[in-house]
Structure 1
Amino acid sequence: MLPPSSLRVLTAALIGAMLLTACGGGGDATTTSAVTQPLSIPAAPKDLGFADAAPVADQAAVLPFVDYAYTNQRGDARYATKETNAGVRVLTGFLDLWKPSTLIVDAGVTAPANGSFPAVVASNWTGIPGDSTDGTILNASVLGANIQYVANVTAQRTAAQELAAYLDDRRNKGYSVSDGLGPLTATWQAAAQQTTTITSIASDATTVLYNDGGNNVGVGGSTNTSFGTVVDFVSNIGENGSTEPAKRFYKYARPWRWSSSVKVIPALAPAKSATPATDGGFTSGHTAEAVRDAIAMAYAVPERFQEMVTRGLELGENRIIAGMHSPLDVVSGRMLGQATAAASIATGANAARKAAAYDQAHSTLMAAAKTDTKLAFNDFAHSGTTVTDRFADYATNKANYNRRMTFGFAPIADTTKPAVVPKGAEVLLETRLPYLDASQRRVVLKTTAMPSGYPVMDDAEGWGRINLFAAADGYGAFNGDVVVNMDASLGGFNVLDTWRNDIGGAGKLNKRGSGTLRLGGQNSYTGGTQVSAGTLQALSATAFGKGDVYLGGGTLASSADAQLVLAGAYTQLANTTLQLDVGSGGAGRLAVSGIATVAGGTLTVNFRSGFRPAMGDTISLLSSASLKGQFTTISVPGYKTTAIYTATGLSVRIDGTA
């Protein structure tokens, strides 16, 4: 019996002999001596032998918020410390900038249920900047810039910004952020039975305080049979999410108390508290609530995940535009909102409700949209234009989200610390990346996290550095073997998903399962790419990084706007398909820097809208350092062609229309 290596060469020789009879899309193939030699089929890119991981920080040293969220209660606000309160603990990065005064409580004073301040406690926090009983500035540069930012923004706001900031201040937060659902907003609000009484700025708003008489997230429970579970899910996302303990521990005043240059919207003058000792600025309660409500809606309708998390941060920025909060107030509100949402879904009451809420949201909204698949529903969810949906533009959303992560602050500490991922944070991506397991979603959060060093954001658990917008675009780096198994029979993102991040790292990607994954980033990972099943599609010229590409099963597709460049070798086995969507300027063509080995399989060529070759044109499809072998079939729908092979490439000549 021949050894395996001899069998492989013999098999390759037989394949090579058969390839000489191949035809190309209705025309006879022209071959060269380069393809008459027996093929030696390369092996697939070698696995690294391990997967990347994002372990939870030492729980003896860092108490997980998701396990201790119950300690963050409004009624205990005046006694809260970083040692006793999870909400305070998440935000301890602020202690590098500001040292709050120590709270002194008489031994005989007991905490009232509503957490209000008795006189003896209020006396050691005036809430007036400059009063040493409140605290001490430790970083004058950062805190000065923090207030000056608000002064600059409020001096330049437009009438449209003023209206948006007023509405986000006075309306219930759940109602406000629901417009991030775009084409689904009206249906969501009707199904949830959401209402609001704040729709404009009243003419007497400068002297009359208007409160929202609506019902915030809607009508839940059995009263709302078609959407009640969804409403309950959103309503409960704020369990253990009070910002009062943090406000009263940190004792940092609102920006308009720090500087007269900060101009609060005139219509919000009645909303300004007259009791500064009960009106802390750090952290922003509006932001925390908006972020967690937006996350709840994004979880239930992940088709609008990035738009919803963008809307949550937009409301936070509107707190700055209103003059009511500073950037660091808002950054900390984002952090606490994310932690609260994760705790509710991972370990809170929503853990038992989340699956039913997701299913109910889709059954109701898909029926209203008249869509019978989640893929069609996803299309409908993005059917708006920038005129009808202000979150319709991806690039704008991304830029706004990233800007609102830091509000322009530069790092003030070590920028090279590895990212850590909080315990339970992976649940935030459960419905957005359903084909990844929990450990993979944790790695996504790690590899898309913000750099270290930014003010406030370097908490020990990692809540400050999480970038949910980027995480929804998949991995930021392959630092180990990454296997993506998409089962199209499960529908939704398992059928089709797109990763837009610029992916680095030394790891390898192996696409498995029947679904389609599209890569749209400027990728530089070096471990190689293997397609075992389903479809892997390139939307950018460097989508497949800098390693070898091995098509062992399924389909490899190029829809790149430029020539798809493979930095290493390319191998295609029999019973696979290479699909090129070719356009002008080389778009969609395949350029292989190394050796291209084609052991059969199909090449399908489609011409893009607006690109129509003429009779007699020769279209270059594949170039390489050396081309070995041929395709079994070349299909160019609508055209009769002749395949022209050379030692380094493949073209087709257009002979006529089919």
Structure 2
Amino acid sequence: MRTTARNRPATALAVVLAASVALTGCAPWNEQGTGGRPPVTASPVPEAFTAEQLETAYESDRTVDYVPLLAGFATLESSHPEVLEENLAQTLDINQNAGQEESAAAIIDEYGDMSYTMGDALGEHLGAIYQAAWEEGRLPKTVELIHKDGGRAQSESTNPSKEYFDYDRPYIVAPDEVVYRDKEGGDAYSSTSGSYPSGHTNQAYWQGTLLATLLPELSAQILARTSESGNYRVVMAMHYPLDVIGGRMMGQAAIAKRWADPEFRELLEAASLELHSVLEDECGAALKTCIARDTPYLKAKDAKELYRDRLTYGFEQIGQGGVDMDVPRVAAALLISSHPTLTEGQRIQVLEQTAIDSGYPLDLSVHSTASWQRIDLAAAMNAKVAIDGKGGVHVNGGKG
């Protein structure tokens, strides 16, 4: 099914219940849900990171060449022109049929700091608390890591990859067919840089994935909202769906690198504590209770379905299905906050068992290469996990 932002359900009326079951460690089978943090009762005191913490050269500051991770696009250009034709057709369909509300939201994310604009993913009340605290300087650690311009946890630039693939944007390829959507006096369509991967989507996904890992109790909704930011690039005909998928892959790999760095992880954990403290203090209850009382951005089930649909954008499989998932080892770090008692090997098993099938465009499984395209982070972060007596992982009752 082709998924666009206009397919997303309206703001859900039902309550999102945080599903969190702690591991007991006293039986051959134990269950774990999302998160494992005890309620924070102390009033938050804004305290920024020190200059030394921010200026330290961390191992995860290393520059990564993302071209190999994104290399599936070259296969499409050489062997699957029909996929690139559908890529443009989907773009025009989404762009031409977007409504006024979608268009306005796309423009907001075009120019705004998405670490702020996607605060609505937290729910009506918690989102308002988050955005107010963001504006008023009461989340100094969180904002220092996540903000748009120079956030300490930021991903690398997409420019080297754009230059390597050098693929023209939709509004350059089909200038007379796209609907131009911009604010008055805006310059959204002035860019002539390559289309693949999407830089704005890379930004949305490193920020959104970071926020989801800082607040795993609402990770499904945050990641669904992150996928909206990516889809808005197609709404504006700035990018194609495949650009968005590539931006997701790159942005999530960048944040995995941060969580896998033990020293940098200390900053992430401090920001997570700060964020939980502010939300619980202003809500006046444990976060689980606050979530249950709030009007959610989406029901958790709907959020996970929307997110999963956008992993492939409805493209047909062009490669072999059923290939075993090869999880990039560093990706296991993305589950540290949602499944804190699992080992790295067990977290890899969770990612294996929640991944989508092989063979979709940009998947590298057929080349015996670890595939970021197949990782369903929303499913993995919210997986109920059973651990058997031998330490084996069983997600939601079994593989798949």
Same fold (TM over 0.5): yes
Q: Any conservation in 2 of the 1:237–1:350 contact (CA below 8 Å)?
A: no
For the pair 1:473 / 2:382, whether they are aligned, the reply is yes
Q: Does 1:185 align with 2:133?
A: no
TM-score after normalising by structure 2 = 0.76
Q: Secondary structure at the match of 2:310?
A: helix
Determine whether 1:159 maps to 2:100: yes
Q: Choose between structure 1 and 2 for higher RCO, CA contacts under 8 A separated by at least 6 residues.
A: 2
CA–CA separation in structure 2 for the residues paired with 1:67 and 1:141: 42
Please tell me whether the aligned partners of residues 237 and 293 of structure 1 are also in contact (alpha carbons under 8 angstroms).
no
CA–CA distance in structure 1, aligned partners of residues 170 and 184 of structure 2:
14
Matches of 1:240 and 1:355, distance apart in 2? 18
The 5 Å alignment of 1:329-478 reads 329-347=243-261, 350-371=264-285, 376-385=286-295, 389-391=296-298, 393-458=299-364, 460-474=369-383
User: What is the 5 A alignment of 1:19-30?
Assistant: none
Choose which of 286, 291, 297 in structure 1 pairs with 2:200.
Answer: 286
Q: What's the CA shift for 1:274?
A: 4.4
| 1:175 paired residue among 116, 134, 142 | 116
Corresponding residue for residue 271 of structure 1:
187
Match of 1:652 in 2: none
Aligned position for 1:262: 178
Q: After the TM superposition, which residues 449-598 of structure 1 pair with which residues of structure 2 at under 5 Å, given as runs?
A: 449-458=355-364, 460-474=369-383, 481-482=390-391, 502-505=396-399
| Counterparts in 2 of 1:331 and 1:275: CA distance versus 1, 3 Å | closer
Rounded Cα–Cα distance in structure 2 between residues aligned with 1:268 and 1:322: 15
Alignment of 1:70-89 (within 5 A): 70-72=62-64, 86-89=65-68
* Kept in 1: contact 2:145–2:153 (CA 8 A): no
Q: Do the aligned partners of residues 190 and 419 (structure 1) sit closer, same or farther apart at CA in structure 2, a change above 3 Å counting? A: same
Residue by residue over 1:68-117, the C-alpha shift from the partner in whole angstroms, topping out at 9 and shown as x without a partner, is 87234xxxxxxxxxxxxx2222101111012xxxxxxxxxxxxxxxxxxx
Deviations along 1:525-574, whole A, 9 cap, x unmatched? xxxxxxxxxxxxxxxxxxxxxxxxxxxxxxxxxxxxxxxxxxxxxxxxxx
Cα distance change, pair 399–474 in 1 and its aligned pair in 2 (3 A): closer
- Cross-structure match for 1:553: none
Map of 2:43 onto structure 1: none
Q: State the shift of 1:272 in Å.
A: 4.2
The equivalent of 1:562 in structure 2 is: none
| Equivalent AA in structure 2 for residue 465 of structure 1 | R
Q: Partner residue of 2:91?
A: 150
Distance 1:155 1:240, change over 3 A: closer
1:310 pairs with 2:224: yes
Q: Give SS of 1:149's match.
A: helix
Larger Rg computed on CA atoms = 1
Q: Secondary structure at the match of 2:67?
A: helix
Q: Alpha-carbon deviations, 1:2-23, whole Å to 9, x = none?
A: xxxxxxxxxxxxxxxxxxxxxx
Letter in 2 for 1:229: K
Rounded to whole Å, the distance in 2 between the matches of 1:247 and 1:412 is 24
User: Does the aligned pair in 2 maintain the 1:432–1:472 contact within 8 Å?
Assistant: yes
Structure 1 match to 2:160: 245
1:339 Cα deviation after fit: 0.3
- Superposed displacement of residue 153, structure 1: 1.3
Unpaired segments ≥5 residues, structure 1: 1-44, 48-65, 73-85, 99-136, 195-218, 220-225, 485-498, 506-522, 524-658
Instruction: Give the helix-richer structure, 1 or 2.
Output: 2
Identify if the C-alpha distance between structure 1 residues 454 and 192 changes in structure 2 by more than 3 Å, giving closer, same or farther: same
Residues 28 and 389, structure 2, Cα contact 8 Å, conserved in 1: no
Letter in 2 for 1:503: G
* SS of corresponding position for 1:409: coil
The alpha carbon displacement at 1:344 in A equals 1.9
Q: Within 2, Cα distance between the matches of 1:68 and 1:191?
A: 28
Counterparts of 1:174 and 1:399 in 2: how far apart (Å)?
A: 22
CA contact (8 A) 1:151 1:262 kept: yes
The letter for the 2-side match of 1:352 is E
Q: Find 2:139's aligned residue among 224, 227, 249.
A: 227
Which residue in 1 is equivalent to 2:233?
319
Q: Distance in 2 between matches of 1:237 and 1:453?
A: 35
> Partner of 1:408: helix, strand, or coil?
coil
1:301 to 1:331, Cα distance in 2 relative to 1, 3 A: same
How many pairs were matched up? 338
Length-normalised TM-score, structure 1: 0.48
Question: Structure 2 vs 1, CA of residues 480 and 167 (structure 1 numbering), >3 Å: closer, same or farther?
Answer: farther
Distance 1:348 1:482 in 2: 24
Matches within 5 A, 1:47-86: 70-72=62-64, 86=65
1:165 offset after TM fit, Å?
1.3
Deviation digits for residues 456-504 of structure 1, max 9, x if unmatched? Answer: 13262321111011102326898994578xxxxxxxxxxxxxx9x6532
Which residue in 2 is equivalent to 1:579?
A: none
Code of the residue aligned with 1:395 in structure 2: it is: K
